[in-house]
Amino acid sequence: MTTKELERLKEVKGAKIVENMSVDELVKELRGCTFGAGRLAKAVDIYEEMLNEETTKFMGIAGALVPAGMRNIIAEMIREGYVDVVVTTGANLVHDIIEALGEHHYKMRGADTNADMAVDDTWLREQGSDRIYDLIVHDKAFARLEDFIRGVFEELTRKNKRYSIKELLKAIGETLSDRDSILRSAVDSEVPIFCPAIADSMIGLHAWIYKQTSPLEVDAFDDMKDLIDIFCEAKRTGAIILGGGVPKNFIFQTALVAPPREEGREGFDYAIQITTKTPEDGSLSGATLEEAKSWGKIGGKAKAVTVYCDATIALPIIVAAVRERIARGRQ
């Protein structure tokens, strides 16, 4: 910062709350605030610009967002063109399929107060109930999943033995009739879904079981070409990173091998990161977007912001606010 820049800093402008505010009216009140509020408002501004500026938008999804109730929002983002490419964990896809098959996740009573309380996980095990923080999935949902996945594998290998992970996920999506599903929405909207760590999920476990008796070849690296091509062909690129993990790095590393675009422009042009992980232990999940600039993953002049917040809180707000702006813009 220079003395001139210091002198030009704008005053913090406190947020005011009036009756019956729309989500975006509230977000705009947060623009003059700092800490998380300021970052949240900035994320909406950046997302709006991404949508207005012909940007290819890569979304990384880590964390149990689908079981928590974010499935509709994510599927709708795909269907409505808020996202062009998805990179996610196997678990989110597994839980998407479970819901598409008519099975459910159940909200624990304890969720009302402090989760974990008064629940004995060993007892849950006996009840055939599997816990994800403050929600429950039943073993029978996974049994349904198994039947379904096995059917997909059988159908697939009838035609061909060799698939990329992306093709496998597309085939699953095509088999699902629930149009609210993420996988199905992606098929319908021609949004590719990447899942480099698919082996690390129930889908992986069932692939292992299936492969014990039938041939199925899924190459670990085949998808990289497609992802990198999408990045290279994009006019502008944006990343929306929910949580960290493999999806975050897999999205950003595409920028490492892409040639710089015109005017020496390299890396993502926009980036929004929503995370509860902070940088102090050096993990990539908690790494700042500034750090990503040193690698060329994000451009030196990129518009980028990290919102330190549970994604189940920040994502709905950001999407609702951006949606309101886009709707207004159409009028």
Q: Which residues participate in catalysis according to the annotation?
A: 297
Cβ neighbours of residue 85 closer than 8 Å, sequence gap 6 or more: 56, 57, 58, 59, 191, 192, 194, 227, 230
Shortest Cβ 174–a copy of itself spacing (Å): 20
Q: Considering beta carbons, is residue 21 or 52 the nearer one to a copy of itself?
A: 21
Shortest Cβ 277–a copy of itself spacing (Å): 7
At residue 259, φ and ψ (nearest 5 deg) are -70, 150
At residue 125, φ and ψ (nearest 5 deg) are -55, -45
Shortest Cβ 225–a copy of itself spacing (Å): 6
Shortest Cβ 243–a copy of itself spacing (Å): 6
Q: Considering beta carbons, is residue 86 or 198 the nearer one to a copy of itself?
A: 198
Rounded to whole angstroms, the Cα distance separating 195 from 223 reads 9
Q: Considering beta carbons, is residue 155 or 219 the nearer one to a copy of itself?
A: 219
Strand partners, 194: 87
Rg for the chain, CA atoms, rounded:
21
Retrieve residue 259's tokens.
Answer: 């040639």
Q: Considering beta carbons, is residue 36 or 188 the nearer one to a copy of itself?
A: 36
In the block, which residue shows the tokens 């880590």?
62
- CA separation, residue 188 to residues 79, 170, 177, 242, 305 (Å): 8, 10, 11, 23, 31
Shortest Cβ 250–a copy of itself spacing (Å): 5
Q: Considering beta carbons, is residue 79 or 173 the nearer one to a copy of itself?
A: 79
Query: Around 217, how many Cα atoms within 13 Å sit in the side-chain half-sphere?
Result: 7
